[in-house]
A and B are shown apart, each in its own frame.
Chain A
Amino acid sequence: MEVAVGLAAVVVLFVGGVCRAEETAHQPVNLSFFYPLSTNTNPDISTNFRLNLFYGRVGTIRGFDLGAFVSRTDRDVRGLQLTGVYSHTGGDIHGAVFTGGLNYVGGDGRGVQVAGLVNFNRGAYRGVQYATFFNFAQRRFYGVQWAFLFNMSNEDSGPFQVATVANLTGGDFRGLQLGGVNFVNDSMRGAQVGILNFAYEYRGVQIGGLNIAEKAEGAVIGAINFVGELDGVPVGAVNLEKAGGNADWSIFASNIVLASTGLRTVVNGFVSTLGVGAGDIPEERDDTFFLSWHYGYLFPFGERERWQLSPDLGFVHIMPQSEEEGKNNDRHFALQARLTGEVRLSPRAAAFFGGGLSVRFSAYSSKASTDFDPLIVGGVTLF
């Protein structure tokens, strides 16, 4: 082993010595052991082929670059670069760059960048980036950013950002963000899908657990949706809109659930009621709890829109608390369709009454049996 390393060093030194005598700005082939133990002593040369063992340094590469540990190129790289640990390019890259650890580019990039840990670009980038930790573009990004943890672009970006943890864009975004947290600082055109989605302003759709926007056109689908001003459809358990939405407290009872209460939110006529209830009347069990979500639309009519008609569909999760012989003690569910009419009694209160159909499934199973019950419901809403 020592002999091999020694021989390699001698060869590199020898070749370097020979080349030094006739060194020019361009060296077609560059070999490096640990710069300046290399065929070049001038770090500013250009080359078409570089092979370096520990550390190689040149000015420009147009062709192929292979380095086991660290490759440094002070200006541009065009072609294919394969580096084991760290690749440093001071200027632009055009082509494909694969690095086991960190890939740093001081200028703009175009092509494919793959890094075991991080792609870090000081300039703009067009193409594909993949990294296990994160991709970073200090300026515009256009293409596909794919990372296990984060994608970050300080300026405008698109059309695809895909990351397990977060996609963050400092400017506008056009396209699809798919990740745990999606953040667009300015305007988004397209879609965001994640646990939390934020766009200051968007035209398209947000799909996630918590969706937040100041101004939106399109749809927002999630558990909790919070929009400053929405021109479109909100689908969620809780929909909140600053500009014209309502968040009301509802108390109601039915021939199935003895007593329920919940939060009713209304945005652009779309009404969502998230409720909790207790008392299973058909089963005659007081200690059964219910979680329900009903979603529908409010049709106002009458003078000053005092009357409202609301068809909705609902899902009810049913939780028996005790074991009783001859009863269904498993958690099960029901699907409901209702039509209710509401009349405003005062500026702060309304009463509603209606009916429909409830289908109770005996279990969360494809083999569950079903019971059909007529549904009668009534209650008050406090604004």
Chain B
Amino acid sequence: MKICYYPGCTLKTKARNLETAGIEAMRALDVEMEELERWNCCGVVFSLADDDLLHLLAPIRDLIRVKDAGHDKVLTLCSMCYNTLARSNLVMRDNEEKRDTINTFMEEETDYFGDVKVLHLLNFLRDEIGWDKVKAQVKVPLKGLKVATNYGCTLTRPDEVGIDSAENPTVFEDFLRALGAEPIHFPGGTDCCGTYQVMDNPEAADDAVARIITSATDYGAEAIVSSCPLCEYNVGKRQAALLEKKDDLKELPSFYLTQLLAVAFGADPESLGFELNHAGSLPLLKEKVLK
């Protein structure tokens, strides 16, 4: 099966491990991810001002490109891209006035009516592949690996684009179970990591991350899995610096969901970009899973 794939800016550089592992893993499921031509940055955040249509143009243009390429679905690995594309899509589907204005403004583009289906890897696997098929491809079960599920903000909120319940989602846990891992469902699973506040108010972001790590380790997690390069940056890459400041926190190696998927499907871990992860991530896999 071929599916149109929207990478987003960060997956080509700082989060290339999220992409590399994803493409590799999907091959095992016979899914070819066809990268969208001439895609542009989605803008990261959905414009919340009612009179701001300008910041809707970037994500909508991407959706038009999907249609022009002959696809009716688009797959994202980054949950922030998922959220922005999905919310913008709904504007074009449901708001006649804004749709007309935007289509008129983008006169050199095909008119668009919000009919592309925006998918994130998790709901794609759940709804279009099925966990049984995922399980059938597992060659290296992640047995004994206790992984906390970090949904972050953008997969389940707001309701209109959420891939699962905002308060008690289970899709990430089902994903981990299909790979043979032990999911750790913990109260901070849908908590915010602080997102962009890390740029301007890093102590506030640090506090948010500290709460997530404390909650996850209290519930017995030995690792945490994310789907967002910003969650991974705040919770994973910045963790070492955070632990120096807050020495009561336990270390928590972090993974991208695609890395766990690829490892479980038998991919060579050395090719999955672990040098970009938390320093303890690959050693933990080697110790518990890749014996």
A and B are partners in one complex rather than unrelated chains: no
Residue positions of A touching B, CB distance < 8 A: none
Residue positions of B touching A, CB distance < 8 A: none
